[in-house]
Amino acid sequence: MNAMTEPGRWNRRALNHAARLARAEQACGTSKLLRAEQTVALLEAVIEPGDRVCLEGNNQKQADFLARSLVKVDPQRVHDLHMVQSVLSLPEHLDIFDTGVARRLDFSFSGPQAGRLAQLVSQGRLEIGAIHTYLELFSRYFVDLTPHVAMVAAHAADAEGNLFTGPNTEDTPAIVEATAFSGGIVIAQVNELLPPGQALPRIDIPAGWVSFVVQAPRPNVIEPLFTRDPAQISEVQVLMAMMAIKGIYAEYGVQRLNHGIGFDTAAIELLLPTYGESLGLKGKICQHWALNPHPALIPAIEAGWVQSIHSFGSELGMEDYIRARSDVFFTGPDGSLRSHRAFCQAAGHYACDLFIGSTLQMDLDGNSSTATLGRIAGFGGAPNMGADARGRRHVSPAWLRAGEEARRGRSGAAGTPRGQKLVVQMVETYREHMQPAFVERLDAWTLAEQAGMALPPIMIYGEDVTHVLTEEGLANLLLCRNDAEREQAIRGVAGYTPVGLGRDRRMVEHLRDRGVIRRPADLGIDPRLATRQLLAARSMRDLVRASGGLYQPPARFRNW
Amino acid sequence: MNAMTEPGRWNRRALNHAARLARAEQACGTSKLLRAEQTVALLEAVIEPGDRVCLEGNNQKQADFLARSLVKVDPQRVHDLHMVQSVLSLPEHLDIFDTGVARRLDFSFSGPQAGRLAQLVSQGRLEIGAIHTYLELFSRYFVDLTPHVAMVAAHAADAEGNLFTGPNTEDTPAIVEATAFSGGIVIAQVNELLPPGQALPRIDIPAGWVSFVVQAPRPNVIEPLFTRDPAQISEVQVLMAMMAIKGIYAEYGVQRLNHGIGFDTAAIELLLPTYGESLGLKGKICQHWALNPHPALIPAIEAGWVQSIHSFGSELGMEDYIRARSDVFFTGPDGSLRSHRAFCQAAGHYACDLFIGSTLQMDLDGNSSTATLGRIAGFGGAPNMGADARGRRHVSPAWLRAGEEARRGRSGAAGTPRGQKLVVQMVETYREHMQPAFVERLDAWTLAEQAGMALPPIMIYGEDVTHVLTEEGLANLLLCRNDAEREQAIRGVAGYTPVGLGRDRRMVEHLRDRGVIRRPADLGIDPRLATRQLLAARSMRDLVRASGGLYQPPARFRNW
């Protein structure tokens, strides 16, 4: 018997797949469409101990019913799972480690569960494989972290098992593709199961890629993570937003960009149709975006600033607005958003000239991190979008100029010319509870020691940061000639933090003369004009009004 | 009338989409499934002057019938198109610039058409937007290069218009997603149109994403680009492959990797089950791959070296072998390969520890390029996979060690620790016609001047290259302390080329003492053992035999 005919030598995966399906049939019958109460039995039938399992797990949409069901399986039958999912958002995502159902974890972001995750690690109940940026984790789905079982969430299924994800397609295509085409089992929970003969608004995932569909007793959980109430934007944030627009966006002519989550960037979005308009920048900056449908962008969209938006996920309440503004968003024929985290992250990496985001801590090398002691949070998409895309080969004015400044800075214009992505860290010098944002040493180092990580969890490396923006000014790190200048450029915008007070005043003034550091006055910005009056919307109600009533914020954001 | 109700203000795209469909109906009737002879009329109906158009355009599968049809449209009606497609492979891809149907081009690779492309540029008949790496171009489809019309190739369609791509899925999902969800028109040519009621082996693209299906008169063109006849592998290549395996793969413990196209890397693949086995490396290296189903990998797969392969495209003749080895490949339930260039490029960027490829020229900074005078060829996926993935955050032994060596090299272990991808350029010191591979100045510079490019077309930047491998030895650029050392490390393996002869002998010996340069003897490799006897297959016939007759090479590779 040779290798070719030896049974089970080369089709183990197919045989194993058939065995799982046979067990499912025994437990739940022959239909692919299951009732909610069959779910625990299904999971016990198809999951094997030690399996790699993806429990979708986005930062918005959650396969929450499947998560609750996984908590209920018998740990004698299902145990030591290796979870490979981008986001840990629900308590159930960690409950399975308490019960022994799961043991190992590879992930990207754990915001709300970061404290408990750190506890589980320190108790030895959970092993972390690694913390990834989103696209990196999806990439490993096709290499060495391919799921054996994927549990995903969709809005609806038809009678054949085709899936309509609704606007939050998010991670689903990447998860399902990796699982379905490697002999894995794909289970979808849906809010709605259409009767035979009725068609979905669109098909996001073909039925052939889906093994089982379960109608969940309640619609899946979804978080409006990208809604920022303009009422909470401070005048300091308005000032910083003015500096971003005039000192960076206008200077480099930034047309394609990503904005992170947060009030700092919401302020920029709300200043485009007012301050940006007054500078004559309409059409010259910010026409193409890779970001979720931020409500704060509504006034800029209405004023005709925005040509296109491609999104990672969606945002609750924006459905009707998106449908009515289909020229701008990627939508299906029914007008609902088609998002796609993998492609949008690729767009953020390769097709954007600028990433701007906030951080909690930055050191004197410009390394920044949102990791703090006692929490293992991960960074989601920031490392991917906040890194220079060294494989990029197409040019744009912004990218060429940043690259040229870097070359002039580092080597006095020697070396091979190359473009560079603009990576801006925007941060007030003091954050909540008077914690300085600038530090000599990141908490990430201590966290790495405590959790036994090989490297400190740095969100964005100083080597990749081009600008640091605080209320004190804008530091262009590209123009720094050496590490000492870079340190003083950071100290020079670090305000009254100990790091800021430790500046070499003469060197900082010298950097200011050279335009490495620019204060509001150097940018021609009068801080007295930095008032909330400049915001195109000052409340949620203003956003609703700007949308012509199309935007319908979730109840928690309404106070009228 | 306010902005919300003003007709055509916010749904221009939808109105335009409907108008295109109405013209198509007038020209071709109401069916979505069209006869071949209707194609030119369809294109004239749905394409508008100035449109961005994607004519698929992979390096293997071609929508060749649609390409021929586009050549036939009336340039009075269809003109000044902006083509956005990854590969220009067929003469028709350029004929449309001759006729004035197309005017502008954004692309990734133009191998066989590179000479004519350069001519058209110099004649002013074709404007190049930019040359991209694949994933970068796909990314721009979602930002500022979204196609208005996409013309793709699939193996078959069912009566509803669902598409089965066959093993060469390649770019299709990325192209169709960007077009279908932005109000664009998607036209697919298929080899086979199933009668109503008959089901496809699997659905790769749902019917709802496809506007029109045309049955082509002949099956689409497809190129077996990744087949390398082992009979053509030289003993110099065997020696270099031994150095790669022992000096890089074994040293760093490389488990996840990509191999470029070419005989150099085919030699490595064919040495794994022989030389690699003799070094006891099975299971310790090369278990996970991002690459097309290279026939040269068959012996390693049969010997149990390979756990998984995810592919950009497929390879002609490998169909039955893939089906019979479904444990290793990503396949659909019918056993046929599901490839996906976008995900595989992401995997190559983020989930692989090593990229190894060949080049035509390298300068003393380590910059390399396959661009030569009179040809505008592009680099396909190499810039993406041959760049350090600075957004990567998960660790592996290979990545950590490379990062640590870089830190030690550059700054004597100061600076923030960070991993680094291994990027190896493997090149004989002299290429065909005794052209030296090492040069003082890349042809890319002259080409940039001639074609008016903002930057020289560099495939892989020296900053990203970690190792240079020639028949003379292996240079580890990570360990170089400065530019001067780096230059001598390159000269030190550049053999009898003028660049090699220009070496500073004392410094090269010093670098050898430090292990920066290693000769075969330093690696414990006896060059006398580097014979073709070491190849696990020495002919196409051997490959067929190793596959148990499952691999069926295209006729041009058979001489029996």
Whether the Cβ atoms of residue A59 and residue A87 lie closer than 8 Å to each other: yes
The backbone torsions φ and ψ at residue A19, rounded to the nearest 5 degrees and listed phi first, read -65, -40
Indicate whether B8 belongs to any domain: no
Nearest-neighbour CA in chain B from A211: distance (Å): 11
Interface with B, mutate which of A17, A132, A137, A139 (most B CBs under 10 A) = A139
Contacts with A181 from chain B: Cβ below 8 Å: 330-332, 338
Cβ contacts (< 8 Å) between A325 and chain B: which residues? 10
Based on the fold, state whether residues B151 and B298 are members of the same structural domain. no
Residues in B closer than 8 angstroms to A211, CB to CB, are none
B210 with B247, same domain: the answer is no
Q: Give the orientation angle of helix B443-451 with respect to helix B114-122, to 10 degrees.
A: 40
Please tell me if residue A385 touches chain B, with a CB cutoff of 8 Å: yes
- Is position A392 within any domain? yes
- Determine which helix (DSSP H) or strand (DSSP E) holds A350, and give its type and residue range: helix A341-350
The answer to whether A392 contacts chain B (CB < 8 Å) is: yes
According to the model, what pLDDT value does residue A413 have?
63
What does the pLDDT read at residue B413? 63
Q: Is residue B18 part of a domain?
A: no
ipTM of the complex: 0.97
Nearest CA in chain B to A309: B143
A135 touches chain B (CB under 8 A): yes
CB contact under 8 A, B174 and A343: yes
Q: What are phi and psi of B157, to 5 degrees?
A: -130, 150
Instruction: With respect to residue B412, please indicate whether it lies within any of the assigned structural domains.
Output: yes
Interface of B with A in 171-230 (CB under 8 A): 174, 177-178, 180-183, 202-204, 206-208
Tokens standing for A299? Answer: 């006034």
Average pLDDT over residues A58-83: 97
DSSP summary character for residue B555: G
State the CB neighbour count (10 A cutoff) for residue B454. Answer: 15
Q: How confident is the model at residue B432 (pLDDT cuts 50, 70, 90)?
A: confident
Asked whether the beta carbons of B437 and B483 are under 8 A apart, the reply is: no
Q: A489: buried, middle or exposed (CB in 10 Å: 19+, 13-18, 0-12)?
A: buried
Phi and psi torsions of B26, nearest 5°: -65, -40
B120: left (phi over 0), alpha (psi -120 to 50) or beta: alpha
Q: What would you report as the CA-atom Rg of chain B, rounded to the nearest whole angstrom?
A: 25
User: Taking CB atoms and an 8 Å cut-off, how many pairs form between chains A and B?
Assistant: 277
Mutate to test the interface with A, among B181, B320, B407 (most CBs of A within 10 A): B181
User: In 3D, which of A155, A335, A316 has the Cα closest to residue A222?
Assistant: A316
Contacts of B385 in chain A (CB under 8 A): 391
A175-206 pLDDT, tens digit each: 999 999 999 999 999 999 999 999 999 999 99
Contact in structure between A4 and B550 (CB atoms under 8 Å): yes
Which domain-ending residue is among A215, A246, A280?
A215
C-alpha dihedral sign at A156, A161, A163, A164: negative
Whether B426 maps to a domain, the answer reads: yes
For chain A, the domain total comes to 2
Give the pLDDT of residue B260: 84
State the Cα–Cα distance between residues B70 and B216, nearest whole angstrom: 14
pLDDT at B4: 45
Residue B412: its H or E element: none
B347: chain A residues, CB-CB within 8 Å:
139-140, 142-143
* pLDDT tens-place string over residues A402-413: 999 999 887 766
A390 touches chain B (CB under 8 A): yes
Q: What percent of chain A has pLDDT over 70?
A: 98
Radius of gyration in angstroms for the set of CA atoms belonging to chain A, rounded to a whole number: 25
On whether the CB atoms of residues A61 and A118 are closer than 8 A, the answer is no
The DSSP code for B276 is I
Residue showing tokens 């299902």: A78
In sequence order, the 6+-apart residues with CB closer than 8 A to the CB of A498 are: A436, A440
CA distance A118 to A123: 9
Two structure tokens written together for B325: 């080895």
Under the banding of pLDDT at 50, 70 and 90, the label for residue B410 is confident
DSSP state letter for A48: -
| Of B2, B203, B327, Cβ closest to residue A208 | B203
Cα gap A479→A364, rounded to integer Å:
16
> Of B195, B116, B117, which is closest to residue B157 (Cα–Cα)?
B195
Q: Pick from B128, B394, B486 the residue to mutate for testing the A interface (most A CBs within 10 Å).
A: B394
> In this model, does residue A6 exceed pLDDT 90?
no
Shared domain for B202 and B293, answered yes or no, is: no
Q: Which residue has the higher pLDDT, A5 or A103?
A: A103
Average pLDDT over residues A16-33: 97
Summarize the confidence of residues B527-553 as an average pLDDT: 97
Task: Tell me: do B414 and B499 sit in the same domain.
Answer: yes
Do B240 and B137 belong to one domain? no
- Rounded mean pLDDT, A81-86: 98
> Residue B518 carries which side chain, given as an amino acid letter?
R
Q: What does the buried/exposed string (b/e) look like for A376-402 if buried means 16 or more CB atoms within 10 Å of the residue's CB?
A: bbbbbbbbbbbbbbbbbbbbbebbbbb
**Segment A468-480 mean pLDDT:** 98
Whole-angstrom Cα distance, residue A504 to residue A263?
32
Specify if A102 maps to a domain.
yes
Nearest by CB to residue A144, choosing from B256, B387, B454, is B256
B 282-301 → A contacts, CB under 8 A:
287-288, 290
Please give the pLDDT value at position A186.
98
**pLDDT at residue B2, rounded to an integer:** 42
| Whole-angstrom distance, CA of residue A316 vs CA of residue A324 | 15
pLDDT tens-digit readout, B94-126: 999 999 999 999 999 998 899 999 999 999 999
User: Residue A471's pLDDT band (boundaries 50, 70, 90)?
Assistant: very high
Chain B CB contacts of A338 under 8 Å are 177, 181
Q: In chain B, what's the furthest Cα-to-Cα distance? A: 86
Compare CB distances from B136 to A133, A146, A350 and report the shortest one's residue. A350
> A310 near B309, Cβ under 8 Å?
no
Condensed to tens digits (0 to 9), the pLDDT of residues A343-396 reads 999 999 999 999 999 999 999 999 999 888 888 999 999 999 999 999 999 999
Chain B segment 58-87 residues within 8 A of A by beta carbon are: none
The helix (run of H) or strand (run of E) holding residue B428 is none
Residues B56 and B196 in one domain: yes
Q: Give dist(CA A126, CA A113) in Å, integer.
A: 13
Cβ–Cβ contact B429 with A under 8 A: no
pLDDT at residue A428, rounded to an integer: 97
Q: Do B132 and A343 make contact, defined as CB atoms within 8 angstroms?
A: no
Query: How high is the pLDDT of residue A8?
Result: 58
Query: How close is the nearest chain A Cα to the Cα of B494, in Å?
Result: 21
pLDDT at A368: 94
Tens of pLDDT, residue by residue over B19-39, are: 999 999 999 999 999 999 999
Query: A482 Cβ partners below 8 Å, 6+ apart?
Result: none
Sign of the dihedral through C-alpha B102, B108, B112, B116: positive
- Could you tell me if residue B405 is inside a domain? yes
**Looking at residues A288-299, what average pLDDT do you find?**
98
Q: Look at residues B89, B67, B70, B87 and name the one whose alpha carbon lies nearest to residue B78.
A: B70
Span A283-305, mean pLDDT? 98
Which is nearest to B236 in space by CA: B468, B496, B520? B520
Angstrom distance (rounded) from CA B467 to CA B459: 15
Residues 25-44 of B with CB under 8 A from A: none
Q: Do A342 and B346 touch (CB under 8 A)?
A: yes
Which amino acid, residue B553? P
Residue B450: pLDDT band (50, 70, 90) is confident
Contacts with B, A 492-551, CB within 8 Å: 548, 550
Lowest-confidence segment of A42-46, A261-265, B284-288 by average pLDDT: A261-265
CATH of the domain at A100: 3.40.1080.10
Q: Do B550 and A4 touch (CB under 8 A)?
A: yes
Report H helices in A72-113: 92-98
Query: Which two structure tokens, joined as six digits, stand for B385?
Result: 């996979």
For residue B417, what is the nearest residue in chain A, using CA coordinates? Answer: A455
Measure CB to CB from residue A326 to each of B13, B307, B346 and give the nearest one. B13
Q: Note the pLDDT of residue B7.
A: 53
Looking at the structure, tell me whether residues A200 and A257 fall in a common domain.
no
**Of B177, B290, B458, which is closest to A143 when you measure between CB atoms?**
B290
Q: Are B472 and B500 in contact (CB under 8 A)?
A: yes
Chain A positions touching B12 (Cβ under 8 A) are 327
Q: Are residues A530 and A397 in the same domain?
A: yes
A374 lies in the same domain as A323: yes
**A223: in domain:** no
Structure tokens belonging to residue A65: 């019913």
Residues on chain B touching A455 (C-beta within 8 angstroms): 395, 400, 417-419
DSSP states of B171-189: THHHHHHHHHTTT-EEEEE
Lowest mean pLDDT among A383-387, B109-113, B151-155, B436-440: B109-113
Quote the Cα angle for A166-A211-A78, to 5°: 110
If asked whether residues B252 and B201 sit together in one domain, one would say: no
What is the rounded distance in angstroms from the CA atom of residue B163 to the CA atom of residue B207? 7
Task: Quote the domain boundaries for residue A189.
Answer: 29-215
CA distance linking residue B307 with residue B303, whole number of Å: 11
Between vectors from CA A460 to CA A456 and to CA A461, what angle results, nearest 5°?
Answer: 75
Interchain contact, A177 vs B338, CB within 8 Å: yes
| Mean pLDDT, all residues of chain A | 95
- Cβ of A456 and B417 within 8 Å? yes
Residues B368 and B392 in one domain: yes
pLDDT, average across residues A320-330: 97
Q: Phi and psi (nearest 5°) for B364?
A: -80, -10
B133, B346, B550 member nearest A393 (Cβ)? B133
Residues B193 and B295 occupy one common structural domain: no
CB spacing of B383 vs A400 below 8 angstroms? no
The DSSP-derived string for A390-404 is TT-----HHHHHHHH
Give mean pLDDT, residues B253-280: 97
